[in-house]
Amino acid sequence: MSARPVIGIATQTLEAIPGQVPLAWVMGQKYVRVLTSVGAVPWIIPLLPDDEATLRLIYEKTDGIFLTGGVDMEPSTYGETRHELCGKTDPARDATELTLLRWAMADRKPVLGVCRGIQVINVAAGGTLYQDLTAQRPEGIKHDYFPPAEGCTRNSLTHKVRVERNSRLGRIIASDEASVNSMHHQGIKALAPGLMPTAFAPDGLIEGVEGANGQFLLGVQWHPEELAESDPLMRRLFSTFVAAVTDSRS
């Protein structure tokens, strides 16, 4: 057994440009680099929803699953019709990540999700999403600080979250409050059974969840990978995850 745990990361579809670029799978380097910096071996997983046998063999080589940010989830995955402001989706990614996550939940394999990742966790466990926060939750604060709008960068701290101190997230953050970046226009609507809310935006939107059964199943709505170099507590999210993955193998 390798001393370094293997963390699976599903890719995202890059559409073909006819005559120039073929259909491809991609994933941002930042996610890979932050995991390697805390001792993990990232395994980039192709989107194979129509080849479950191969996907299962890949899954069995992993010790944990990391769910990254990305495009919107297809509303049919949580039983809703498409809102006019729902953005670009990637059905192959939805299907692949939901399959990986349901296997991991059944096996109690450690999972960490960020941004879109917390939404995938909620949907896989039976919850729903706001398809556009501005339209469907107009009383809320601004969440969609997508760079370079309003002079923001990916590590701009745009609001605080209240953290439940007695939660796993609270013990990692070691505080009941954290300043975070915010680059999402969707969010958790109905929280799934079996998940506990652990962090909240100033408008009450759930921005942190974890499993209620003791499994390391943790999701946050912000992008800690963009903050890990400057904030030791955000880096601790990843090091704690990798430590849990390592412990789960013994």
| Cα separation values, 227 from 51, 99, 103, 156, 161, Å | 36, 29, 30, 9, 15
How far is residue 160's CA from residue 174's CA, in Å, rounded to a whole number?
15
- Give the pLDDT of residue 21: 85
Please write the tens of the pLDDT for every residue from 161-197.
Answer: 999 999 999 999 999 999 999 999 999 999 999 999 9
pLDDT tens per residue, range 114-133: 999 999 999 999 999 999 99
Residue 12 tokens read as 């995202």
For residues 185-210, give the mean pLDDT.
98
Catalytic residue at 223?
yes
Tokens found for residue 245:
């993955």
Residue 138 contacts by C-beta under 8 Å, 6 or more apart in sequence? none
Whether the per-residue pLDDT at 71 is higher than 60: the answer is: yes
Name the pLDDT band for 2 (thresholds 50, 70, 90): low
Catalytic residue among 86, 97, 115, 210: 115
Structure tokens at 127: 């919850």
Given the residues 143, 184, 185, 223, the one annotated as active site: 223
Closest CA to 202 of 137, 151, 120, 129: 137
Which residues have CB under 8 Å from 130's CB, separation 6+? 136, 137, 186, 187, 188, 189
Q: What is the mean pLDDT of residues 78-83?
A: 98
- Lowest-confidence pick of 42-51, 64-73, 149-158, 196-205: 149-158
Mean pLDDT of the chain: 96
Q: How far apart are CA 185 and CA 134, in angstroms?
A: 7
Domain ranges of the chain: 6-248
Contact 27, 44 (CB under 8 A): yes
- For the domain with range 6-248, which CATH number is right: 3.40.50.2300, 3.40.710.10, 3.40.50.880, 2.170.260.10? 3.40.50.880
Residue in 97, 207, 210, 225 annotated catalytic: 225
How confident is the model over 105-118, as pLDDT tens digits? 999 999 999 999 99
